[in-house]
Amino acid sequence: MIKKGLVLLLIVLILFSGCTKKDIENNVIENVIKKQLQSIEDKDMKNYLTTIDKTKPEYVAERKSWFRDIVSNNITTLDMEIIEILKSDKNLVEAKIKQEYSFNNKEYSITNSMKYVKRGNNWVDSDLIFKSISSDNFSIYYPKGEKEKAKLALRGAERAYKEVYEKIGLIPEGKTVIKLYEDKERLRQSVKLSFPWKFAGWYEYPESIKCIIYNSKDKYFDVISHELVHKITIKESNNNLPYWFAEGLAVYYTELYNVDIFKMNNTLDINKLEKLNLEKMKDSNLIKSYYTSSGLILNFIANKYGEDKIVELVKKLGEFSYIEGTNIEVDKVSIERFHKVIPKVLGITVKKLNEEWNNYEK
Ligand SMILES: [Zn+2]
């Protein structure tokens, strides 16, 4: 009996000494990653969401959109790999994770610093490693070592909050989370892997506002103003804004006031805007025209029918039911609803409105 016990003890000792702390951390994260990749392969959103930290509702919403984009674009090449364990304790592991995929004959690779936490018995993905500061209206999430830039973001955001409220007369729901990203590629990959161009800011209901990291409160003011208009109007419309109309609102409320560059020759009309997909565009002139034309059409409506009609249109759209999805996913239904709302608010059809816009002196 004693002998057997000794042998067992020896085996246990050997097993323990062969299995280092690093191995355990690697295993914990590897299991999360494996489950994520398998759920993506199986197109199983429910299973994928069991790997996401539920204490962060905006992160859950963001990952839902991210997951649907991968599945609907059939991105089958996604891979994730542990590069380095940065930190660990009983309920938290931080690690560098390399993420690679190919799409439309292009290869993409990025290394993210990720946080994994233990919730109950499960280890889950808890987003990039962010530090945070907050005020009554905002929480700013920022990369380690960038507190000064985060403070600038908070100041830019507070000014944006005030000015957007002065223009629209509405405030964003709850405390707004703003995440700052070190570079545009990281921001793009955190939103949609299929997205063909890089942007400085992003918002989808009910996600956080995402923004590139800047060293200027004015830059933050510009980007966050635009995204705050999205947050307010998408909520007010119950996620029923046609894509072009959503961008038009953001441009109209934040850029048309003081800029004269909007006198353009090649404006798009509502008919064309409804058919375009901003998220598939590659021509930068067309992208620019999409935004400015949309803003100008809103400006035209405000001039001809009254500025209060803009918010009235948004509120009227908000009487329709809520459909979950990113702006582009709900675009078709939103356009149909927009066509029902325009006659009620402006007393003309969208077709007639478009004719008026085409004849309008630009
Ligand atoms: Zn926008």
Looking up tokens 């570079």 gives 183
Q: Is residue 10 part of a domain?
A: no
Rounded distance from Cα 23 to ligand 1 centre (Å): 44
CA quadruple 265, 163, 239, 326: dihedral sign: positive
Q: Tens of pLDDT along 295-324?
A: 999 999 999 999 999 999 999 999 999 999
Supply 161's token pair. 């909050």
Do residues 323 and 242 share a domain? Answer: yes
Which of 82, 102, 128 corresponds to the end of one domain? 128
Burial 237-249 (b: 16+ CB within 10 A, else e): bbbbbbbbbbbbb
Note the pLDDT of residue 22: 76
Note the pLDDT of residue 360: 86
Burial 132-165 (b: 16+ CB within 10 A, else e): eeeeebbbbbbbeebeebbebbbebbbbbbebbe
Q: Is residue 13 part of a domain?
A: no
Band (pLDDT 50/70/90 cuts) for residue 4 is low
Do residues 243 and 308 share a domain? Answer: yes
Rounded distance from Cα 71 to ligand 1 centre (Å): 24
Q: Tens of pLDDT along 154-197?
A: 999 999 999 999 999 999 999 999 999 999 999 999 999 999 99
Domain range enclosing 191: 130-232
Statement: residue 275 has pLDDT above 70: yes
Do residues 94 and 140 share a domain? Answer: no
Band (pLDDT 50/70/90 cuts) for residue 204 is very high
Do residues 242 and 359 share a domain? Answer: yes
Band (pLDDT 50/70/90 cuts) for residue 361 is confident
CA angle 48, 52, 56 (to 5 degrees): 140
**Residue 90, Cβ neighbours under 10 Å: how many?**
6
SS3 category, 200? coil
Q: Tens of pLDDT along 105-138?
A: 999 999 999 999 999 999 999 999 999 999 999 9
Rounded distance from Cα 339 to ligand 1 centre (Å): 21
> What CATH number does the domain containing 114 carry?
3.10.450.50
Do residues 268 and 358 share a domain? Answer: yes
For residue 196, which of 74, 101, 106 has the smallest C-alpha distance?
Answer: 106
Q: Is residue 1 part of a domain?
A: no
Rounded distance from Cα 6 to ligand 1 centre (Å): 68
Note the pLDDT of residue 104: 93
How much is the average pLDDT of 137-152?
98
Rounded distance from Cα 27 to ligand 1 centre (Å): 40
For residue 186, which of 97, 84, 64 has the smallest C-alpha distance?
Answer: 97
Rounded distance from Cα 149 to ligand 1 centre (Å): 23
Phi then psi for residue 136, to 5 deg, are -60, -35
Rounded distance from Cα 79 to ligand 1 centre (Å): 30
Note the pLDDT of residue 59: 98
Supply 279's token pair. 């998220």
Q: Tens of pLDDT along 320-340?
A: 999 999 999 999 999 999 999
Note the pLDDT of residue 14: 47
Q: Average the pLDDT over each of 6-20, 152-166, 222-236, 282-296 and give the range with the smallest value.
A: 6-20
For residue 254, which of 224, 297, 276 has the smallest C-alpha distance?
Answer: 224
Contact of 157 with 138, CB cutoff 8 Å: yes
What rounded mean pLDDT belongs to the chain? 93
What distance in Å separates the CA atoms of residue 254 and residue 3, rounded to the nearest whole number? 80
What global pTM score does this model have? 0.91
Rounded distance from Cα 153 to ligand 1 centre (Å): 18
Statement: residue 256 has pLDDT above 90: no
Band (pLDDT 50/70/90 cuts) for residue 1 is very low
Rounded distance from Cα 104 to ligand 1 centre (Å): 24
Which of 206, 232, 258 corresponds to the end of one domain? 232
Do residues 262 and 331 share a domain? Answer: yes
Note the pLDDT of residue 9: 52
Q: What percent of the chain has pLDDT over 70?
A: 92
Identify which has the larger pLDDT, 105 or 19. 105
Rounded distance from Cα 19 to ligand 1 centre (Å): 50
Looking up tokens 């246990």 gives 12
Statement: residue 359 has pLDDT above 70: yes
> What CATH number does the domain containing 202 carry?
3.40.30.160
Rounded distance from Cα 172 to ligand 1 centre (Å): 16
Do residues 203 and 153 share a domain? Answer: yes
Do residues 350 and 242 share a domain? Answer: yes
SS3 category, 118? strand
Q: What percent of the chain has pLDDT over 90?
A: 87
Which of 203, 232, 261 corresponds to the end of one domain? 232
Q: Is residue 15 part of a domain?
A: no
Contact of 129 with 144, CB cutoff 8 Å: yes
Q: How many domains does the chain have?
A: 3
Contact of 341 with 334, CB cutoff 8 Å: no
- The pocket of ion ligand 1, defined by CB under 5 A, consists of 247, 250
